[in-house]
A and B are shown apart, each in its own frame.
Chain A
Amino acid sequence: IERNLVQAISREAARRRRRVESDVFGDLSRLLPLQPSVRAHLDKPSVIRLTLSYIRIGCDGAQDEEEKDTEEFEASQETNMYLGILEGFVMVLSTEGDMIFLSDNVSKYMGLTQTELMGHNIFEYTHPCDHEEIRSNLRLTAGGEYIIIQDFVMRIKSALTHRGRTANLKSATWKVLHCQGRAKVCVDPSAVSCLLLTCRPLPLSHTLLSRYTFTSQHSMDMRFTYCDQRVTSLLGYRPEELLGRSIYDLCHALDTSCLNKNHLNLCLKNQSVSGQYRMLVKGGGYVWVESHSAVIPSVRPSRSRPGIPQPLCILSVTYVLRCVHYF
């Protein structure tokens, strides 16, 4: 009987402790800026994660309600416009890779909400082969704010199906994100050094002036295997003249590294945006262009020999951004 009593007492004590703990978690969650429906479903680790983010951002919820409204409304309009142009979301990363902040439209692109992701570490969500690259981007050097500019491509898990619905993360797919941004290096100990990034999934769905774009296909070494007719009016070459030629031949000498990076991203991650580079025009001079490319698995569907891979090719859409430039 004694034993049972002891057990009962300790059980009761444990229950009480748990209750107290739950209460404190509840208090904490009520201090976070969350929708009530979201708050109700938060588990304990998430509460802590979000609290951490909230503190790191430097929450300043203490503002006069009325003033806030109009200012905020304008600001949110502007931000929405911006994010709309960007076709992406904003991410703030700590030097260890914690996603301190994500704009709430992240759910549109990744199928996971802001509260589900904030506070987690980016390495948990990105392709292992990209970790090294991400790490090197996180190594921020000291000295001044907003100096270092980052531009890289990484693969991240997305719970979106291609019909736009949100699935469980168990059936996540890899999404290729193009990330650009700046490092904010803070010497002040109370502020956190971090990386401010805008992330947009590739491929981008642009509907640019079709007059200024042309499509091309390349073998994996970037030699043209096909080019549409529009290239003639834009660059002066006939499509036949380009077949077999490497894109490296046609770019300006100083843009080699830009294309190199693009090429590597294609090899490793399937998709890439080249950034702006110069393509030589027939007869002299060059134009500034930007290419959006992806690796396409072989077109031929025959799987009679499943062990042997079919040749891959690169599909590229090139936008001419500026008219002919003669140095």
Chain B
Amino acid sequence: VNVTFEQQVDDVLVEEEQSTSVSLPSLMTPPSAAGMSLSVELTRKRKGSVDNQDSKCVSVPDVDMEDDQNRYKDQHVKVKCFREPHSQIEKRRRDKMNNLIDKLSAMIPTCNPMSRKLDKLTVLRMAVQHLKSLKGSASSFSEANYKPSFLPDEELKHLVLKAADGFLFVVGCDRGKIVFVSESVTKILNYSRAELIGQSLFDYIHPKDMGKVKEQLSASELYPRERLIDAKTGLQVQADLPIGAARLCSGARRSFFCRMKYNKISIKVEEKESQGNVLLESQKYCTVHCTGYMRSWPTSQLGAEGEGEVDKQESSHFSCLVAVGRVHNHSSPQVNGEVRVKPTEFITRYAMDGKFTFVDQRATTILGYLPQELLGTSCYEYFHQDDLPHLADRHRKVLRSKEKIETNCYKFKTKYGSFVTLQSQWFSFVNPWTKELEYIVSTNTVISYDPSRAGRSGNKSEQSSNPKASEDCKKSPPIIPGISSTPGTMIYAGSIGTQIANELLDFNRTNSSPSSGNVSPFSLPQDKSPQIHNQISNSVPNGETSDMEIPGKSSSESEPQGAAFSGGETLMENSQLDLESVVGPGLNSLSSDEAAMAVIWSLLETDTNLGEAVDFEEMHWSL
């Protein structure tokens, strides 16, 4: 039962036709493939009609229609019974069959050593032999009471648990008694099944999480009504359910984290990668993500494992949680490989203009400020004067690049007036939909705390030939290329960041189409200004923006912000996932916004010509 994308199939199609695989050519590039899938017209298959227009049919009335492909092969008679498309179908069917036979012969040991290609029948016969030998003594699957399956359940179980890397457990709701746990727990928590079964789950949960786990197992609930969301309007719809029923009924789901003990004898702990307050506890606990559902069984069926006879209330039902536990790994891989946060590192986030929008708590022990003291202030206020030029340069660079930018060592003023030497890695994160910069993420490493090293630092960078800087080279105000430093203007450190941000905004404004701020992920800025891009890229080598003059006025077009677009050329090397890199270059070639929207629209209408529309009105999400 498969779909074919043939446009004209009006000939006899036999049962075999329905088994041939979809002939969606994998050669198709995404846009045309998308087009194909959207404009599929499934022709009806008419059986029994043969087009005889150009036929020189050899009449073979008693031929089994199933084997007409064999007929063609065997008879070496050119029978032009059918029109061109049909012979193509036939050919494809033959090819498919030959392909399968080849694969089969590759899998069978006795076929392999043969140098010449074996014929179909021989391969099939060898396959039969091979299967017989594999099965050993067991006879064919014809016993009535044997449930045949391709994979014995034991194997399937292993497969499933391997795929998900978790362990299954069942605990009673009343006292948390572990009724069942799968073997895979050994690999994860390093306890044997025997050690765990019959014990209370709470013996293995971190004290601080006990309350939470208790709640997950308990019957009480504040908001008993099942919440449904009308997918059409996104608003809640009240459903009427008696209190508690939804909560504890079979199928009510649970999902939570808790810290579980593990037997640390032979497990390597990733202490360095766990964060914050888990550092101490990571010796003994690991964070487990549990997902599952509630089940309730009548105790009469359970025998020894039920708790019903003890507790009056549950004498009729044994409620438990059936769940899968998976170890939750704290460190999420970053876009460009792994960012491992070591104890002497902390993370900060800046808005485009350098103002702090996020400060890792760890910063406090290093810098002395509480996060809230830093939020909203500009990072430039804390940078040492000598480092301002090179950091401003990096700032400019990171706004225009999709790569991670490293700074040199620089000094950061702590709350107490002293300086710490840091080195940072910045990368700018761009919203995949709007293509606008959301913020800059900074991973900061402490190089040294020693305030006595507050001498020269970071000056080995590109603070080199800057012809314009020499004009007003004064000692006290720092010279930052591009920031207007006309006499009489006090340079507030904070304004540096703002100016840099404004440069970029203004440039984007003058060079982007009016609609680029809209919903149009497929039109790149460079579509609109290819000329400028080419001119600039000729004159400015990549990444050397620091040496160029950047007049304070932002409306200048000669600015080397062509570097911004050069990032677009190396889409495949982007450190950040991008719509283009994910979907492929095909969609980039759409020129107009409307065409782009049409494609999105058709992709989002998840089914267009493949059949019935997905009816969102009927899609209720139950919570």
Contacts and interface: CB of A to CB of B under 8 A. Distances in A.
A165 B604 CA distance: 23
Nearest to A50: B150
A327 B432 contact: no
Interface in B146-197: 146, 148-157, 159-165, 168, 170, 182
Interface string A291-327: 0001111010000000101011101010101110111
Contact of A75 (B146, B153, B331, B348): B153
Given A264-B582, A325-B276, A180 B438 contact: no
Interface string B313-325: 0000000001110
A46 B100 CA distance: 10
Interface string B344-385: 000111000000011011100000000110000000000000
A296 B234 contact: yes
B96 interface: yes
Nearest to B183: A78
A149 B162 CA distance: 11
B266 interface: no
A171 B519 CA distance: 31
Contacts of B18: 43
A208 B255 contact: yes
Interface in B215-247: 216, 221-223, 225-227, 229, 231-234, 236, 246-247
Chain B CB count within 10 A is highest, among A30, A61, A65, for A61
Contacts of A116: 1
Contacts of A162: 614-615, 618-619
Contacts, number: 415
A171 B612 contact: yes
A33 B234 contact: no
Contacts of A270: 603-604, 606
A198 interface: yes
**Range class of the A interface residue count:** 35 or more
B335 interface: yes
A51 B104 contact: yes
Interface in A198-226: 198, 203, 205-211, 213, 215, 217, 220-222, 226
A207 to B, nearest CB: 5
B127 interface: yes
Interface residues of B, number: 162
A76 B147 CA distance: 12
B269 interface: no
Interface stretch (B20-28, B301-309, B395-403, B408-416): B20-28
A34 B293 CA distance: 32
A72 B15 CA distance: 37
B1 A79 contact: no
A325 B610 CA distance: 47
- Most A C-beta atoms less than 10 A away, residue of B333, B360, B622, B623: B623
Contact of B149 (A20, A104, A176, A315): A104
B322 A85 contact: yes
A257 B335 contact: yes
Nearest to A126: B24
A86 B103 CA distance: 33
Contacts of B101: 48
A219 to B, nearest CB: 8
A215 B235 CA distance: 9
B246 A207 contact: yes
B234 A299 contact: yes
Contacts of A312: 519, 604
Contact of B127 (A28, A33, A159, A217): A28
A72 B70 CA distance: 43
The 5 closest A-B pairs by CB, nearest first: A171-B611, A33-B148, A128-B33, A62-B136, A327-B276
Given A55-B108, A129-B34, 4 more contacts: A60-B134, A180-B163, A211-B223, A252-B358
